Amino acid sequence: MNVPESKVEISGFMARFYDQLLRIASFGKYNGMMKAAIADMDIEPDDAILDMGCGTGYNNCLMVKYLGNDGKIIGLDISKKMKKQFEKKCQDYPNISFIQKRIEDPLPFHDEFDKVFISFVFHGFPNSERKKIAQNAFNALKSGGRFIIFDFNEFDLDIQSWWFRFAFRRIECPLAFEYITVDWKSRLSEWGFNNFNEYFYFSKRIRLLKATKK
């Protein structure tokens, strides 16, 4: 993907200090929020989980604590720097692996995952690419599997607190401004998902949205 208004692909300084920068951008709430969101995923001991845009592997190291010996996590990311951090963070977990691959390109997975997770990546793609990602998630999931999106909720930016408006406008890519206006349950229904569950964080500005493969 080569979209100037996107900030999905991270390199250099941002890639090296990605987790630390997320903590700063979330006013120190990132770690606690991620732990709560992963608890809300309802991970089963034998789950097979695909993490699209896995980054440094921080989230996977939280998820793996819910898995038993038969569970596994595969992380996908395009960044070589993220791959290096991922492998360092997750080196003690034999049931976590990394594949360097674009998540909007066709993937080699069919009916084999219980959960597909994507965290703060979906909003950074144009809608045509989001549809491809959702289709990849659909194909990868077993029947009844869950596509789990941890990202911005739908909200009116103009009525948010001044400091949040300032931070959002300074930090976020233009695609995020469109993302927060979309009814994602309706959109995902068009793409083959139903039975939605939602969990909210950070004064309902952030949401964990679970969608079931029809």
Reference 10, options 20, 19, 18; nearest CA is 18
| Per-residue model confidence (pLDDT) at position 6 | 53
- Over residues 109-122, the pLDDT tens digits come to 999 999 999 999 99
Q: Which tokens hold the place of 22?
A: 């997320």
Q: What percent of the chain has pLDDT over 90?
A: 79
- Over residues 169-189, the pLDDT tens digits come to 988 889 999 999 999 999 999
Would you kindly state where each structural domain of the chain is located, as residue ranges?
A: 48-57+78-213
Contact present, 50 and 109 (Cβ < 8 Å): yes
The band of 25, judged by pLDDT with boundaries at 50, 70 and 90, is low
d(CA 144, CA 142): 6
CA-to-CA separations, 58 to 37, 83, 119, in angstroms, rounded: 13, 12, 11
Contact present, 123 and 176 (Cβ < 8 Å): yes
Task: Indicate the pTM of the whole model.
Answer: 0.89
- Over residues 74-87, the pLDDT tens digits come to 999 999 988 999 99
25-39, 59-73, 199-213: segment of lowest average pLDDT = 25-39
- Over residues 49-98, the pLDDT tens digits come to 999 999 999 999 999 999 999 999 999 999 998 899 999 999 999 999 99
Reply yes or no on whether the pLDDT at 17 is more than 50. Answer: no
For 48-57+78-213, which CATH superfamily applies?
Answer: Vaccinia Virus protein VP39 (3.40.50.150)
Give the H or E element holding residue 198: strand 193-201
Average pLDDT over residues 201-214: 96
Q: What is the DSSP letter of 194?
A: E
Give the H or E element holding residue 12: helix 12-16
Reply yes or no on whether the pLDDT at 15 is more than 50. Answer: no
